Amino acid sequence: MNDAVMDRHHDILRVRSFLPSLRLNLADAHRRAGDATEARRHLAVTDLAALPEDGYGTMIRSGVERARQALDAGSTAPLAP
């Protein structure tokens, strides 16, 4: 593998780490709108393995867990920070 190929894969991995955040936001919007089925679908396909092991990854993982708990409780209230 050459540097150009590695650079391209690095960019893909960087973008991939933002997808869980997008899925979390979609799931939470559906949850708050009362569409638990669609919210659960977005959470189910959230690729938490794509997240880095840093503060950002911890924040998104925590948000996913809070969204799941809110869904289980039937809550449509905003998530607490």
pLDDT in tens, 2-15: 556 545 555 555 67
- Total domains in the fold of the chain: 1
Quick check: is 25 in a domain?
A: yes
- Examine the pLDDT at 76 and tell me if it is beyond 70: yes
Quick check: is 28 in a domain?
A: yes
- The pLDDT of residue 3 is 55
| 49, 30 Cβ separation under 8 angstroms | no
pLDDT mean over 58-79: 96
Quick check: is 72 in a domain?
A: no
Quick check: is 80 in a domain?
A: no
Domain interval for residue 2:
1-33
d(CA 2, CA 29) in angstroms, rounded, equals 42
- The pLDDT of residue 9 is 54
Quick check: is 53 in a domain?
A: no
HEC states along the chain? CCHHHHHHHHHHHHHHCCHHHHHHHHHHHHHHCCCHHHHHHHHHCCCHHHCCCCHHHHHHHHHHHHHHHHHHHCCCCCCCC
pLDDT in tens, 8-59: 555 555 677 889 999 999 999 999 999 999 999 999 999 999 888 999 999 9
Quick check: is 47 in a domain?
A: no
Helices 36-44 & 19-32 angle (0-180, nearest 10): 170
